[in-house]
Structure 1
Amino acid sequence: MISLIQILLMILGIVKFVMIVHIIMSWLINFQVLNMRQPLVFQIWEGLSRLLEPIYGPIRRRLPAMNGLDLAPLIAFIAIYAIETIIQNNAYHFM
């Protein structure tokens, strides 16, 4: 059972890493450091967006319109951190 918990924590860590890359990339695109007309940048952006849309989509539907401010990544990041904490604090129950 410990192996499953470790695998779950590893997957959550990978999701957090992908979210951080997506957030930083969005800043770089908005500040025009990265150009979306470059095929590699567009492909990476599109791939990350498609990976994270199942996580961000339900959160965005529940949040009110914020005039261009997207809080879905922040809420998803906090939720993943909370899930990791809950799993780590309750792992001894599964031993």
Structure 2
Amino acid sequence: MSSLITVIQLALQLYTYLIIASAILSWLVAFNVVNTRNDVVRSIWSFLDAVTEPALRPIRKILPNLGGVDISPVLLIFLIIFIQNILDRLKYQVPGWAL
């Protein structure tokens, strides 16, 4: 069971890195640092969008409009950290914490 939890935690950590990369790339595109007409940038953009958008879309539906500021990646990362903490408790079976 411990190895399965470790694999899930590694996948969550990788997903966190993809969320951060997506946010940074969106800033770079918004400030015209990178050009989306470049094939490499466009392929990276579409990959990151395809991977992160299904998890970010429900959060964006719940959040109110904050005037162009998107905090949904931050909230998703907090949720991932919360899930990782729960998995740590399951992995090490902290005494006094029951499911």
Q: So what's the TM-score if we normalise by structure 2?
A: 0.87
For 2:25 and 2:36, locate their aligned partners in 1 and report how far apart those are by CA, in whole Å.
Answer: 11
The structure richer in helix per residue is: 1
**How many residues were matched structurally?**
93
Unaligned ranges ≥5, structure 2: 94-99
For 2:24 and 2:65, locate their aligned partners in 1 and report how far apart those are by CA, in whole Å.
Answer: 22
The 4+ residue runs of structure 1 with deviation greater than 6 A are none
Unaligned ranges ≥5, structure 1: none
Residue 82 of structure 1 aligns with which residue?
82
Sequence identity (%): 34
For 1:13 and 1:74, locate their aligned partners in 2 and report how far apart those are by CA, in whole Å.
Answer: 14
Q: Structure 1 residue 92: deviation in Å? A: 2.0
1:90 aligned counterpart, secondary structure: helix
Tell me which structure has the larger Cα radius of gyration. Answer: 2
1:66 aligned counterpart, secondary structure: coil
Q: Structure 1 residue 11: deviation in Å? A: 0.5
